[in-house]
Structure 1
């Protein structure tokens, strides 16, 4: 068999190397920590081991995988082009900046750079949850040009996080608007609620909206914001401590659905 490629994927804080056919279908994977190569078909054994040769770090056990869960089956049949799990924080902004960089003569910093840094800051904080039963997806594009900056799935439920750069600026949040520094208030919370509602529709599960502020000088919330939780990047650990809402199997199933790009096509 020719045209095999090896694709690294992080899952539960562990790296797996998936061996894919030219059409994107998975035929095997290598778990370094378990020192095991799992084959979906014994007839591909020699080709798989040849493709994995440069990555093997010692003796390995080779054989059929354990009986997969429905979530594992969904992931195994997912084409890499439809898999959102490899998205980096700010993926859409990174692509936009690469395709359409700011003019060299621009005097002021490109605001997309500040937004990207904010998403990367929040994304790095959320990625640390993945070793304790949580999954994070970044930069999920929605129809119409909207985007979920981050989707957090775990024992405490599902959270759609919208990131806002507020470096050393005062932030005032009302039930309708958000004002950063001296800028005019924006009706941002309505959009955050709407994006979370679209995610709830796509996943048929309740998704809680969160506004994540990066490095603000101060945050003023005169009255608790209706439905939207407001956190700074240093307070995001509070989400990881939540539990009692979803069982591990439910977390895996929701993550398998959410990482499929096709889930978000009609929301």
Structure 2
């Protein structure tokens, strides 16, 4: 008997099975999702595989741990308080509503709740692109109390996505003005371009603005929207088909930079 123990643990966002010696020291770990056994002590390969045998499923790769990329090193060194990746869609609105729920009115619901619904709808759609080589960060704070609703990073580049509640309403766009139903027009496209420019300055990379509408009854453009994509929430999945702008290593490096709160402090 080798005396090795298998201990499950959740580290660095992944579920792993660690193989430990009797003194508690780790000599290997099995990442089921990656189908890989990372081995720290080559001389004990057979003992490690024997200990993991009841847990292995399908073919696995066995070898020394891969050398961390610069992006992985940046992620591992990031303090949890500065990591924006755990932010939920509408994080800032959730915090504001928790602090001040507001009474609202049956005929005049709290507009923050509609805005939250829009950000959740758009955020859930963007999160669904993760498996296609894309990353999404939500509710990125900008100095002055502003924020980027969603930042999408992937092979097709970077997109600052603004979620706008438009359920069953007609939307009229006359750059820079956007009118939703009977609401007063707002210079929203100018704001979106400004946010994208601030994000581009922080990340030293081009960031393109996107206006994402949730369930509009229709969209009328009376003047071209200069440099801003206008999409419904359902159409956002089409961004996953874009490519040829960023290599995988660039995507990971930009994601590591964007998730660091300190990146956004001086833009």
Band of TM-score, shorter chain: 0.7 to 0.9
Q: TM-score, normalised by structure 1?
A: 0.79
Q: Deviations over 1:213-264 (max 9, x none)?
A: 1000000112321111111111112211110011111111100100111100
Per the alignment, residue 31 of structure 2 pairs with 31
Per the alignment, residue 76 of structure 1 pairs with 76
Per the alignment, residue 111 of structure 1 pairs with 111
**Where in structure 2 are the equivalents of 1:157-172 lying within 5 Å?**
157-172=157-172
Q: Deviations over 1:41-78 (max 9, x none)?
A: 99xxxxxxxxxxxxxx9469998631011111111111
Equivalent residues of 1:16, 1:29 under 8 A apart: no
SS of residue in 2 equivalent to 1:221: strand
How many residues are aligned here?
Answer: 233
Per the alignment, residue 206 of structure 1 pairs with 206
Following the alignment from structure 1 to structure 2, what is the Cα–Cα distance between the partners of residues 167 and 113? 13
Per the alignment, residue 232 of structure 1 pairs with 232
SS of residue in 2 equivalent to 1:97: helix
Per the alignment, residue 140 of structure 1 pairs with 140
What is the CA-CA distance between 1:175 and the residue it aligns to? 1.2
**Residue 135 and residue 16 in structure 1: after superposition, are their counterparts in 2 closer, same or farther (change >3 A)?**
farther
**Residue 144 and residue 30 in structure 1: after superposition, are their counterparts in 2 closer, same or farther (change >3 A)?**
farther
Q: TM-score, normalised by structure 2?
A: 0.79
Following the alignment from structure 1 to structure 2, what is the Cα–Cα distance between the partners of residues 186 and 16? 46
Per the alignment, residue 191 of structure 2 pairs with 191
Per the alignment, residue 254 of structure 2 pairs with 254
SS of residue in 2 equivalent to 1:88: coil
Per the alignment, residue 49 of structure 1 pairs with none
SS of residue in 2 equivalent to 1:164: strand
What is the CA-CA distance between 1:97 and the residue it aligns to? 0.8
Pick which of 92-101 and 195-204 moved more. 92-101
Following the alignment from structure 1 to structure 2, what is the Cα–Cα distance between the partners of residues 183 and 210? 21
**Residue 145 and residue 7 in structure 1: after superposition, are their counterparts in 2 closer, same or farther (change >3 A)?**
farther
Following the alignment from structure 1 to structure 2, what is the Cα–Cα distance between the partners of residues 129 and 118? 18
What is the CA-CA distance between 1:29 and the residue it aligns to? 8.7
Following the alignment from structure 1 to structure 2, what is the Cα–Cα distance between the partners of residues 180 and 236? 20
Q: Deviations over 1:133-181 (max 9, x none)?
A: 1010001011100010000000100000011000000000111100000
Following the alignment from structure 1 to structure 2, what is the Cα–Cα distance between the partners of residues 207 and 29? 38
What is the CA-CA distance between 1:35 and the residue it aligns to? 6.0
**Residue 83 and residue 32 in structure 1: after superposition, are their counterparts in 2 closer, same or farther (change >3 A)?**
farther
Per the alignment, residue 50 of structure 1 pairs with none
* Cα RMSD (Å): 2.6
SS of residue in 1 equivalent to 2:127: helix
SS of residue in 1 equivalent to 2:222: coil
What is the CA-CA distance between 1:81 and the residue it aligns to? 1.3
SS of residue in 2 equivalent to 1:160: strand
**Residue 16 and residue 252 in structure 1: after superposition, are their counterparts in 2 closer, same or farther (change >3 A)?**
farther
SS of residue in 2 equivalent to 1:236: helix
